[in-house]
Amino acid sequence: MELRKYAVLGLLIACGVSGLRAVPARELRARSAVERLIGASGAEVAVALRTLDGRDELFIAADQSFHAASSMKIPVMIELFAQVQAGKVRLDEPLAVKNEFRSIVDASVYQLDAADDSDPEVYKAVGQTMTLGRLCEAMITVSSNLATNLLIDKLGVENIRRTVHSLHADGMQVRRGVEDGKAFAQGINNTTTARALLILLEAVAKSEAVDPASSHAMVEILKRQKFNEAIPAGLPSGTPVAHKTGEITKIHHDAAIVYGPRTYVLVILVRGLAEKESSAALIAEITKLVHQDIQ
């Protein structure tokens, strides 16, 4: 009888069923301070944070939908590496650079204006070619809208949507390329939740988005981000961070993998502040509060 008891116990442990409930994640003590900061700002803010070890988390309005702005470039990058891994495309594959795209409303042609883009360099290559890898670098590190639309046309928006769904991040809705004015006028926009962006970046950080080599390459691209006035500004100097920002009028987002003794993913979405400096300062201050709590 005693032998049988231990045999059953061993079987339960081997199956991962010990009879003990998993310890739930701890909600950060900083929640109240973060909520006070958000309330004082007058902005709508969503926060999603989880440590990679799953022990600490913070979710505030994490399932509220926001205009995605350039945060939607994260799933475009993931889809690119997924197609590379599947052998459908290559990072060194050349792509003709054009500035003509079709509206999803009526298929009419529209162009992007270099003056409204954060990076003019890709426009200089119109009529020539750039590799998919170079376009991805421009899309993420300097948030090139032209590079983004070229990649979306190449990869296919439905493929991007399927990949997002496969990663269980359906709060991210990629519906179109950037600067489709007719679609914007009809309210057809790319949208996201803070939770969806957290799920996507967790997959990258855990080498589960595509394969380990692809995930590592994506992290390195995100680490070369040139716009660092939001989440990185709230971290101790020298803290490694892989992130992507997104900005349009009264919208300012940052989504990051923050590396350290306890690596975590942090997403902060802000809507309603007219001045970029104000939203950046708010994101940085929230980051400072949560980082101190985790470390």
Strand order of the β-sheet with 251-258 is: 26-27, 56-60, 44-51, 264-271, 251-258, 241-248
Which of the four pLDDT bands, split at 50, 70 and 90, describes residue 25?
Answer: confident
**pTM score of the predicted model:** 0.90
Q: What is the mean pLDDT of residues 253-279?
A: 97
Position 26 scores a pLDDT of 87
For residue 136, the surrounding DSSP H or E stretch is helix 132-141
Name the phi and psi angles at 252, rounded to 5.
-150, 120
Per-residue pLDDT for 227 more than 50?
Answer: yes
Per DSSP, the three-state class of 168 is: coil
Superfamily name with CATH number, domain 24-294: DD-peptidase/beta-lactamase superfamily (3.40.710.10)
Name the phi and psi angles at 245, rounded to 5.
-95, 170
Q: How far apart are CA 250 and CA 195, in angstroms?
A: 20
Q: What is the mean pLDDT of residues 3-18?
A: 42
Domain ranges of the chain: 24-294
Given a contact cutoff of 8 angstroms between Cβ atoms, the answer to whether 148 and 178 are in contact is: yes
CA 28, 270, 116, 90 torsion: positive or negative?
positive
Write out the two tokens for 235: 């971290």
Position 23 scores a pLDDT of 67
